[in-house]
Chain A
Amino acid sequence: MNGIHDMGGMMGFGAVEREADEAPFHAHWEGRVYGMQRSMGEVGLWNIDLERFSLETLPPLRYLAASYYERWLLGLESRLLGYGLLSAEEIAAGRSLAPPRALPKTLKAGDVERILNRATFARSAAAPARFAAGERVRAKNLNPPTHTRLPRYARGHWGVIESLLGCHVFPDSLTTGGGEDPQWLYMVVFTGKELWGENADPSLKVAIEAFEPYLEAA
């Protein structure tokens, strides 16, 4: 979806503020939100793409006004409510008011090491890769109302396949009920001029990871 999250190339957000010796979490609650997100990510109801989509569908003003872990909290709450795992009344009351839903699994403390080992998204390919390194391709002009990982700034522009990154779970399919539908993934490089026009920095190149269905041949 063409949401507020798709920020590449936007202007007016001001200077980047950096912080010296930044801690992993700035407040106790941030760590708890992180941990709840990771824990609920393991119960077998949704994956990271659906987590991302629940952030992307936050109202734009709320998305922009919230800090990072506030967004995670809002996204987590919306998923919990959407899946009927709890009610708004229970969040307001701070206690369970109804029996739980049965979950496929839950994350136990003893399993934490396993989830800190990052999962693989590679899957077997149904067909050979369509493009090869060095080939010129165009990012399609796609505007789905659903989750996609093709950023707006690349759409309609010509680039070059730099490398093949394997065959991976396709987020666009997974978030729309089509299952993993694995697709080849490529590193595609665009010149600054192609993306941003004549006045672009001539020394700029931008690489994106693009799934095969995002690309068309020259």
Chain B
Amino acid sequence: MPEPPPSDGAASHGAHSELSAIELRVRALETVLAEKGYIEPQAIDRIIEAFETRIGPRNGARVVAKAWADPQFKRRLLENAGAAVNALGGIGPVGVHLLALENTPKRHNLVVCTLCSCYPWDLLGLPPVWYKSAPYRSRAVIDPRGLLADFGLSLAPDVEIRVSDSTAETRLFVLPMRPQGTEGWSEEALARLVTRDSMIGAGLPLSPQEASP
């Protein structure tokens, strides 16, 4: 394999006005693949557009809010998340191996993929960079309490931390606990409290105060 060009690294993301070495290399590769007829650049445009406009954490937030507001839906979600989400309509369709992990006063769930980057992208969109990073993947299974403390989330000592390592094709997301002070809220209002990180277990949903400062 040829040597890669110098990397501008994960941190700077190549925000240059000129094309970076990697941008040129990717453009070259795509040109070759398209000339050979292996790919259709318009297909790539459509894939990118889907993730930039439709497939993202708002879908998961809608599912969580529905589960908070509708106990029957919550039961179906915990039994068979893929079927429950697909029956909602307007999302996905999502894959059949989706599993919802319920947070309770006695258990906090955290999702990781120590081996690569498995993530319920069809429900939450593409994973954030930190989820795929070595610091997160290495530490989540051995010191999740310390990790969450760094994220500003301190759990009581008697709360079990359940870390689920996504090592096969099951895709996991967290059903966080409904914030207090939201009795009678609409699903739309509840959904605005659901953050992406709360559906990974790396955070909590916003409180009503945080949502409307």
Instruction: List A residues at the B interface (Cβ < 8 Å).
Output: 5-11, 13-19, 22-29, 31-36, 38-40, 43, 52, 55, 62, 64-68, 70, 73-74, 76-78, 80-81, 85-86, 88, 90-96, 100-101, 103, 106-109, 111-112, 115-122, 149-151, 153, 165-166, 168-169, 171, 185, 187, 189, 192, 195-196, 200-201, 203-211
A191 to B213: give the CA distance in the assembly, Å: 40
Known: A15-B150, A36-B30, A151-B115. A204 touches B145 (CB 8 A): yes
Among candidates A35, A70, A117, residue contacting B47 with C-beta atoms closer than 8 Å: A35
The answer to whether A112 touches B50, judged by C-beta atoms less than 8 angstroms apart, is: yes
Q: What mask results when residues 42 to 54 of chain B are scored 1 for a CB within 8 Å of chain A, else 0?
A: 1111111011100
8 residue pairs bridging A and B, Cβ less than 8 Å apart: A6-B115, A7-B114, A8-B114, A68-B129, A109-B45, A112-B43, A207-B165, A209-B170
Interface centre among B7, B9, B130, B165 (most CB of A within 10 A): B165
Q: Is the CB of B151 within 8 A of A18?
A: yes
Cβ A205 vs Cβ B162 within 8 A = yes
Q: Are B1 and A85 in contact (CB under 8 A)?
A: no
Residues of A within 8 A of B150 (CB): 15-16
Tell me, rounded to whole Å, the shortest Cβ–Cβ distance linking B131 to chain A. Answer: 9
> Is there an interface contact between A116 and B40, defined as CB atoms closer than 8 Å?
no
The 7 closest A-B pairs by CB, nearest first: A118-B95, A35-B44, A8-B114, A94-B28, A100-B36, A26-B13, A209-B168
Q: Which residues of A contact B11 (CB under 8 A)?
A: 17
Hey, which bits of chain B sit against chain A, CB under 8 A?
1-2, 4, 7, 9-11, 13-15, 20, 22-23, 25-33, 35-40, 42-48, 50-52, 55-56, 92-97, 99, 112, 114-117, 121-122, 125-126, 128-130, 132-145, 147, 150-151, 157-171
Choose one: A85, A166, A206; the contact of B141 (CB below 8 Å). A206
Report the minimal beta-carbon distance from A195 to chain B, rounded to whole angstroms.
8
Contact of A43 among B25, B38, B50 (CB under 8 A): B38
Given the interface contacts A96-B32, A201-B143, A205-B160, does A17 sit within 8 Å of B130 by beta carbon?
yes
Is there an interface contact between A103 and B38, defined as CB atoms closer than 8 Å? yes
Q: Give the chain A neighbours of B142 by CB distance below 8 A.
A: 8-9, 11, 153, 192, 195-196, 200
Chain B: minimal CB distance from A22 (Å): 5
**Residues of chain B contacted by A118 (CB below 8 angstroms):** 94-97, 121-122, 171
Extra 19 A-B pairs, beta carbons < 8 Å, given A33-B26, A35-B43, A52-B115: A8-B141, A16-B151, A29-B14, A29-B20, A29-B26, A35-B44, A77-B29, A86-B36, A94-B27, A106-B37, A106-B39, A121-B97, A150-B167, A166-B97, A201-B144, A204-B145, A205-B162, A206-B165, A208-B164
| B129 → A minimal CB distance (Å) | 6
Q: Are A151 and B114 in contact (CB under 8 A)?
A: yes
B157: chain A residues within 8 A (beta carbon): 203
CB–CB A92/B2 < 8 A = yes
Min CB distance, A179 to chain B, in Å? Answer: 17
Most buried by B among A7, A39, A88: A7
